[in-house]
Structure 1
Amino acid sequence: MCRSIKTLRPPFTEDVGEDEVRAAALQYVRKISGFREPAAHNAEAFEEAVAAVAEATAVLLERLEVRGSAARAR
């Protein structure tokens, strides 16, 4: 993927909000689709993909456990 993608889990980031998760999901969908902004006829599919990736990301961050750390992943 892209080296500029920000890490969203501890020990690098303590507080991850919905805005950061959505921004990461949007970046991922843009990278995969090859479009910064979708055409009008693809906008619904694009936004649904962003929402699905954001939801999957939130679940992942919630379930990750960082060993050797007292903090949970989110």
Structure 2
Amino acid sequence: MCRSIKTLRPPALPEEATEDEIRAAALQYVRKVSGFRAPAAHNKEVFERAVAAVAEATAELLSDLEVRGTPAQRAG
């Protein structure tokens, strides 16, 4: 996959991922699968929609994951 996409969950990221971190990962993913660093004007809208959709799916995934051994789960 794309080496510049970092892991956005504990323990790799000690705190909850920010919207900016999630969007940056989504942008890298869309760039990788589309083969475009920046889309041409006629593809800009579809490119941005894809980034938004991937960011939304990523945020949902991160919020629903159960990561064993995280401090919040050990305390409970």
Q: TM-score scaled by structure 1?
A: 0.89
Equivalent residue number for residue 22 of structure 2:
21
Aligned residue runs from structure 1 range 1-74, under 5 A? 1-13=1-13, 14-71=15-72
Residues 31-66 of structure 1: CA deviation (Å, up to 9, x unaligned) = 000000000000000000000000000000000011
CA separation in 2, counterparts of 1:32 and 1:7?
Answer: 18
Q: TM-score scaled by structure 2?
A: 0.87
> Percent of counterpart pairs with the same letter?
76
Kept after mapping to 2: 8 A contact 1:25/1:53: yes
Whose helix proportion is higher, 1 or 2?
A: 2
User: Which one has a bigger Cα radius of gyration?
Assistant: 2
Q: How many residues align?
A: 72
Q: CA RMSD in A?
A: 1.3
Which secondary structure state, in structure 2, belongs to the residue aligned with residue 71 of structure 1?
helix
Gaps of 5+ in 2: none
Kept after mapping to 1: 8 A contact 2:2/2:28: no
CA separation in 2, counterparts of 1:5 and 1:19?
Answer: 13
CA separation in 2, counterparts of 1:41 and 1:71?
Answer: 46
Kept after mapping to 2: 8 A contact 1:10/1:71: no
Consecutive aligned runs of 4 or more in structure 1 exceeding 3 Å deviation = none
CA separation in 1, counterparts of 2:70 and 2:39?
Answer: 41
